[in-house]
């Protein structure tokens, strides 16, 4: 499909998803060869057969992949099903799409030729070969344990000497009130138990709280932030709950209390910043969020190999998704100016990309926590946190029929190595 037509579909997607009557379109689109019957059934399964909006969104996404004749065939199908106003909307958007003008490559000046060095004549009387002469000017590269020791002793590594090294608060929401219209998060207790064991083994003082309403979550976080962390070297917060999109300035997403009220992630993080938690200034503050970033389901794109065993598990997975909801009440007050940037020394690890769902298996827990626990077990003794989170993202992205990619917002100033003895 031409790029101008792709842009028109994307520009009009919100209005089309809101107004499109999908059911009458299947027959004319099949008759025009845009989709086969099997493709239509697969699309309906992926989008959810009972949801018109999800089917409309998925139809528009898949339409972009159906070749150059798909767009005019779609317009004709709209007119055949008495949706001519939507066809005209797309036609106008397509006509208004500017044709991109290719930008010529910048002129790169040709560098002058490198001077030819005057050859040195090696004399056997000097006692050293040319290779020995050159190698003597360079220090030997550190290898093995010598390299790890040098890396950890630099100024760019957080110093963890206290034992326990810090507090770890795990908030585990499983059962939600009927009024919240949020489902029970089966499998979350498995996540919670894994992380309790893992962070205790990494020398954290672990505290667990379960099934808290939003106000109780806020109180627990504020209580943790008010503790004296002067004898600790870091702080860690894990949140296992349903999640959603929220309006934000710094950190996207929000999590739900069991009463269905949302708390923005950036509000949670702000309790521990340099202004609000003085005893953690300059110390790493780590947040791990197992919750959806929205309700969009990622179909991924085709690759040559499939993940083994995922087909057998896909029917027991659930998402922690809930619709977008703007936070209520007045915005948070701005933080005071500090000697370090206020949100410094903070890392927020998300189980999924903002706007997308996060998958959880009823019998083995969430993909993100299961993988994080495995990676910490194998690599916490030798690798820094960011490198391990790359391993988590790589492993989770290969799972399942639906796709998920974890990521993080990193404002750490140094490398973080867990304490392993």
Compute the distance between CA of residue 3 and CA of residue 100 in angstroms, rounded to an integer: 9
3-state secondary structure of 181: coil
| Contact in structure between 179 and 260 (CB atoms under 8 Å) | yes
The interaxial angle of helices 70-80 and 84-96, nearest 10 deg, is 150
Active-site residue, selected from the candidate residues 242, 244, 277, 408: 242
Active site residue 168: no
Active site residue 242: yes
Compute the distance between CA of residue 60 and CA of residue 64 in angstroms, rounded to an integer: 7
For residue 22, the tally of other CB atoms under 10 A from its CB is: 21
3-state secondary structure of 266: helix
| Contact in structure between 284 and 345 (CB atoms under 8 Å) | yes
Q: Strand pairing partners for 254?
A: 244, 264
Compute the distance between CA of residue 322 and CA of residue 334 in angstroms, rounded to an integer: 28
Active-site residue, selected from the candidate residues 12, 94, 292, 408: 292
Q: For residue 257, which of 327, 187, 198 has the smallest C-alpha distance?
A: 327
Q: For residue 309, which of 350, 364, 353, 356 has the smallest C-alpha distance?
A: 364
For residue 76, the tally of other CB atoms under 10 A from its CB is: 15
| Contact in structure between 248 and 294 (CB atoms under 8 Å) | no
Please give the positions annotated as active site: 242, 292
């Amino acid at each position: 499909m031409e790029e101008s037509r792709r842009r028109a579909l994307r520009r009009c997607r919100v209005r089309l998803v809101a107004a499109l009557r999908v059911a009458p379109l299947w027959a004319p689109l099949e008759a025009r060869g845009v989709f086969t019957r099997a493709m239509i059934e697969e699309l309906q399964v992926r989008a959810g057969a009972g949801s018109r909006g999800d089917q409309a969104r998925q139809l528009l996404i898949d339409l972009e992949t159906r070749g150059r004749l798909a767009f005019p065939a779609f317009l004709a199908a709209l007119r055949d099903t008495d949706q001519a106003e939507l066809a005209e909307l797309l036609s106008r958007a397509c006509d208004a799409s500017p044709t991109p003008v290719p930008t010529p490559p910048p002129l790169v000046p040709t560098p002058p030729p490198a001077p030819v060095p005057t050859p040195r004549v090696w004399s056997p009387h000097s006692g050293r070969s040319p290779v020995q002469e050159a190698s003597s000017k360079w220090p030997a590269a550190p290898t093995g344990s010598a390299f790890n020791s040098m890396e950890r002793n630099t100024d760019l590594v957080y110093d963890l000497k206290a034992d326990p090294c810090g507090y770890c608060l795990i908030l585990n929401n499983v059962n939600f009130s009927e009024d919240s219209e949020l489902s029970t998060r089966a499998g979350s207790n498995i996540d919670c138990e894994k992380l309790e064991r893992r962070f205790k083994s990494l020398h954290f003082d672990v505290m667990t709280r379960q099934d808290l309403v939003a106000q109780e979550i806020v109180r627990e976080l504020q209580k943790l932030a008010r503790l004296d962390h002067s004898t600790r070297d870091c702080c860690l917060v894990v949140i296992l709950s349903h999640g959603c999109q929220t309006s934000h300035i710094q950190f996207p997403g929000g999590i739900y209390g069991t009463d269905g009220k949302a708390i923005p992630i950036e509000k949670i993080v702000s309790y521990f910043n340099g202004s609000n938690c003085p005893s953690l200034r300059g110390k790493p503050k780590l947040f791990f969020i197992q919750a959806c970033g929205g309700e969009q389901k990622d179909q991924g794109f085709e690759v040559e190999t499939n993940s083994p065993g995922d087909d057998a598990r896909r029917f027991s997975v659930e998402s922690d998704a809930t619709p977008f909801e703007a936070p209520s009440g007045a915005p948070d007050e701005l933080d005071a100016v500090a000697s370090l940037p206020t949100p410094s020394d903070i890392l927020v690890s998300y189980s999924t990309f903002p706007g997308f769902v996060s998958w959880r298996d009823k019998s083995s827990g969430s993909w993100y926590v299961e993988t994080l626990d495995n990676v910490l077990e194998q690599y916490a003794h030798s690798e820094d946190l960011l490198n391990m989170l790359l391993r988590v993202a790589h492993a989770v992205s290969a799972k399942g029929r639906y796709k998920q990619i974890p990521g993080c917002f990193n404002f750490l100033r140094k490398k973080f190595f867990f304490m392993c003895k």
